[in-house]
Amino acid sequence: MLEVGGRCDPRFGAVRDAFAANFTERGETGAAVCLAVHGTVVADLWAGQAGPGPGQAWQPDTLVNVFSVGKGLIAACVARLIGRGRLDPDAPVARYWPEFAAAGKTDVTLRQLLSHQAGLPALRDPMPAGSMLDWPVMAAALAAERPWWPPGSGHGYHVNTFGFLAGEVIRRVTGLRVGAMLREEIAGPLGADVHIGLPVAEHHRVATLCGPRPERDPFCRG
């Protein structure tokens, strides 16, 4: 018998039913959903397992990886600095990050960078293993990279580079890594349980990720 935790306004019982059906009909292993209408929470539900162990039931404070949602969080940090007059969206990125001017990027504006127009969706040259976990290495490589198209002439999703690009601008202006700024300026004051860079002591709260080939993991097969 599936046990669904949390609360749901009776008027939104269909939400609870659809959530439960994800487990009983679609093979969901663990999940949560929170629905607010005009600022009022009408459904806050969780169920299933966050991991393979018997003591790893999904909890109200279970965390999940949100991937590109992080781009919005980083952009919010940049917007806060713009609102305070510490960044100008139409200024060249090189004003704040001088090394960025290399390889024809002198005139790339912060606005173009934030809107995926900077022409830096990837790096051409192969990088050493582990480079994506090394901030100085990635920042230096992106600063040296030649744009893949004339900046401002088109868009291209900066899927794995946006965080380094916008985050390095934040670091140059504030001296803080983006995770620290998010914690101190936005998440902390709001009491929001959202993180970029999670302390090791909190890792036990993170749900197991089931990738595109769940057959490799008995837990993810359900």
- Per-residue pLDDT tens digits for 102-127: 999 999 999 999 999 999 999 999 99
Question: Which domains are delineated in the chain?
Answer: 4-63+201-221 (no CATH), 69-189 (3.40.710.10)
Q: Which of 68, 115, 131, 153 is catalytic?
A: 68
Determine the pLDDT at residue 55: 82
Determine the pLDDT at residue 195: 97
How many C-alpha atoms does 200 have within 13 Å on its Cβ side? 0
- Annotation marks residue 153 as catalytic: no
Residues of the chain with pLDDT under 70: 214-216, 221-222
- Residue 47 contacts residue 8 (beta carbons within 8 Å): no
pTM here is 0.89
Determine the pLDDT at residue 219: 72
Angstrom CA distances, 101 to 13, 78, 88, 96, 127, stand at 55, 20, 17, 10, 21
Determine the pLDDT at residue 215: 67
